[in-house]
């Protein structure tokens, strides 16, 4: 079974990271926040270098000028090698970056990595999984990818983002400060002057001050929300990935990605099954702020398995297309709830995986869209010094 009520985190405070109910905790992953989320290499056998993101290394007041996203890598590739730079920005979260299915780094910053020439797959996982990105590393080439996550806006993207970041102004902080000051200072002072006046004019001044505070609060909170929503829209519009070509995997499987240029045409007389595989990652550390790179920060969710009519298919998290002959087909999706890439003791409660099956009927030239949504759960147990994971949840249905 998935986590029971007693397994839920008990120290969530009210606010954006709080859980309103058990169902909310099971279905809506909240971010795992870290005390130090600077980037850290997870694999000592690779040739890699990490550094803070350029936009985060500026001291003092915010730089209002356009900021160059990447710094030039200092690594020198050898013959038959190239350099891949991955820039990660996600406020106080710590995404995990993997290359060819192997986690290589966790946290925010710029990762410069030497890879052999040829095709490689880059993935990122945070509160949820994303579509991997295929990169063809050229001999002596320098390639760049960015991962950006703005959790309040629900925006996360991995791919080719603009390499120059424009400054986005916002006055949300001013409206927030105005409403907070009116609530904390003006209202108590108004109450004290009105209820306990030492002079005749105090209670009149208290009423006027209270009315002014109410007006400022009633005005400031909606304007703060409006300014905050505008900032989220602006930053989401700025950090968009360019479309990418679909990547074939054998004769009958194509990885589309979340933003393909154009899906490949269907073979004559064939049908297609578009399958979107996504996973919410619920990582709970209780009331303890996780230290850098330890506990759950480096956890990795293994890729799902997909079978069509009992035949194993290429699969990963993301958007896939499978070419099938017309007729009836059985789609099977299997996910594993045990986190990988941990460096401390772990135990699992319940069944290790979940399997779902769905029967579909296809016709020649038809495309059927399916969605497989999984949720995995892991909790840090400070009493035993281990991580406990639970049976995952999985749905497979027509989109």
Residue 349 has which token pair? 């409660």
Reduce the DSSP state of residue 368 to 3 states and report it: strand
Beta bridge partners of 272: 323, 367
Mean pLDDT of the 179-194 span: 80
Decide: 74 and 62 in contact? Cβ < 8 Å: no
First-last CA distance in the chain: 26
Residue with the bigger pLDDT between 152 and 340: it is 340
Reduce the DSSP state of residue 236 to 3 states and report it: helix
**Residue spans per domain, the chain:** 31-162, 172-238, 247-398
Report in angstroms the alpha-carbon separations of 365 from 252, 322, 343.
14, 13, 49
pLDDT at 287: 52
How far is 123 from 255, CA to CA, in rounded Å? 13
Report in angstroms the alpha-carbon separations of 116 from 80, 132, 159, 282.
6, 18, 20, 34
Mean pLDDT of the 182-189 span: 81
- Asked whether residue 151 carries a pLDDT value surpassing 70, the answer given is yes
pLDDT at 169: 75
| pLDDT tens by residue, 284-318 | 876 545 554 457 888 999 999 999 999 999 999 99
pLDDT at 22: 58
Report in angstroms the alpha-carbon separations of 66 from 63, 164, 168, 242.
8, 6, 10, 20
pLDDT at 221: 83
Residue with the bigger pLDDT between 184 and 129: it is 129
pLDDT at 188: 82
pLDDT at 11: 43
Exposure of 291 in the CB half-sphere (CA atoms within 13 A): 3
- For the chain, the residue count is 399
Name the superfamily (CATH) of residues 31-162: Carboxypeptidase-like, regulatory domain (2.60.40.1120)
Q: Which H/E stretch holds residue 33? A: none
| pLDDT tens by residue, 54-88 | 654 455 555 667 777 888 888 888 899 999 999 99
Residue 24: which pLDDT band, with cuts at 50, 70 and 90? Answer: low
Reduce the DSSP state of residue 189 to 3 states and report it: helix
Mean pLDDT score of the chain, rounded to an integer? 83
Decide: 104 and 128 in contact? Cβ < 8 Å: no
Decide: 95 and 127 in contact? Cβ < 8 Å: no
pLDDT at 3: 65
pLDDT at 137: 94
Sign of CA dihedral 239, 92, 84, 67: positive
Residue 54 has which token pair? 């350029």
pLDDT at 12: 44
Decide: 272 and 266 in contact? Cβ < 8 Å: yes
């Amino acid at each position: 079974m998935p986590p029971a009520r007693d397994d839920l985190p008990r120290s969530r405070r009210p606010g954006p990271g709080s859980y309103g109910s058990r169902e909310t905790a099971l279905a809506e992953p909240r971010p795992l926040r870290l005390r130090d989320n600077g980037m850290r290499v997870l694999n000592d056998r690779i040739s890699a270098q990490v550094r803070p993101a350029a936009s985060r290394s500026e001291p003092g007041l915010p730089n209002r000028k356009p900021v160059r996203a990447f710094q030039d890598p200092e690594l020198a590739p050898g013959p038959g090698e190239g350099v891949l730079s991955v820039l990660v920005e996600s406020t106080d979260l710590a995404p995990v970056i993997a290359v060819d299915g192997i986690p290589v780094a966790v946290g925010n910053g710029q990762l410069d990595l030497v890879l052999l020439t040829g095709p490689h797959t880059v993935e990122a996982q945070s509160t949820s999984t994303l579509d991997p990105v295929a990169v063809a590393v050229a001999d002596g080439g320098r390639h760049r990818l960015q991962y950006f996550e703005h959790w309040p806006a629900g925006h996360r993207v991995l791919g080719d983002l603009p390499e120059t970041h424009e400054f986005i102004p916002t006055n949300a902080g001013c409206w927030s400060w105005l409403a907070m000051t009116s609530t904390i200072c003006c209202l108590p002072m108004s109450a004290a002057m009105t209820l306990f006046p030492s002079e005749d004019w105090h209670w009149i001044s208290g009423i006027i001050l209270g009315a002014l505070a109410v007006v400022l609060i009633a005005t400031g909170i909606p304007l703060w929300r409006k300014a905050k929503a505008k900032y989220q829209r602006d930053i989401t519009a700025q950090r968009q990935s360019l479309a990418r070509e679909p990547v074939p995997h054998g004769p009958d499987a194509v990885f589309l990605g979340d933003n393909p240029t154009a899906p490949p045409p269907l073979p004559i007389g064939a049908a297609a099954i578009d399958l979107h595989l996504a996973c919410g990652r619920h990582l709970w550390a209780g009331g303890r702020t996780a230290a850098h790179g330890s506990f759950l920060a480096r956890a990795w969710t293994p890729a799902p398995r997909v079978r069509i009519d009992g035949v194993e298919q290429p699969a990963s998290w993301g958007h896939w297309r499978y070419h099938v002959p017309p007729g009836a087909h059985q789609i099977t999706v299997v996910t594993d709830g045990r986190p990988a890439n941990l460096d401390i003791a772990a135990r699992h409660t319940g069944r290790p995986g979940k399997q779902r099956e769905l029967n579909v009927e296809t016709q020649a030239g038809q495309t059927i869209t399916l969605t497989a949504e999984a949720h995995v759960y892991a909790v840090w147990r400070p009493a035993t010094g281990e991580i406990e994971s639970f049976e995952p949840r999985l749905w497979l249905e027509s989109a």
